[in-house]
Amino acid sequence: MQQLSAYRIMWLICMFDLPVTEGDERKKATQFRNDLLDEGFEMAQFSVYMRHLPSREKADALTKRLIARVPPDGKVSIIIITDKQFGEITSYRNLKPQSPAKKHDQLVLL
């Protein structure tokens, strides 16, 4: 059985700035957000979504699926970081430090 490692477990972060001035643009932006939710992402901030993944291979596969759904206009950035790096994120709200993001339980099938 492979040991769980904070250097092997990954976080995929998707940030986007999509145009929403026209009705068709709003529909495409909404569809992209819904696609992210359907793929198991959670919203970290408006237009910033993240997902916990068990390996780099899974993160790469998900990245390919997302790229196929990127709307034609606007900007989408996909970042992959290790769980160790994610644990080093410092967040502030109204100049007050925020608690670290909750750790997801890792399911291991034997």
Give the Cα-Cα-Cα angle 70, 44, 16 (nearest 5 degrees). 25
52 close to 41: Cβ distance less than 8 angstroms? no
User: For residue 106, what pLDDT band results from cuts at 50, 70 and 90?
Assistant: low
Q: Does the structure show a pLDDT above 60 at 31?
A: yes
16 close to 79: Cβ distance less than 8 angstroms? no
Higher per-residue pLDDT: 18 or 98: 18
Provide the mean pLDDT of the chain: 89
Higher per-residue pLDDT: 57 or 8: 57
User: For residue 3, what pLDDT band results from cuts at 50, 70 and 90?
Assistant: low
DSSP reduced 3-state for 29: helix
Whether the model clears a pTM of 0.85, i.e. scores above it, the answer is no
User: For residue 100, what pLDDT band results from cuts at 50, 70 and 90?
Assistant: low
CATH class of 10-96: alpha beta
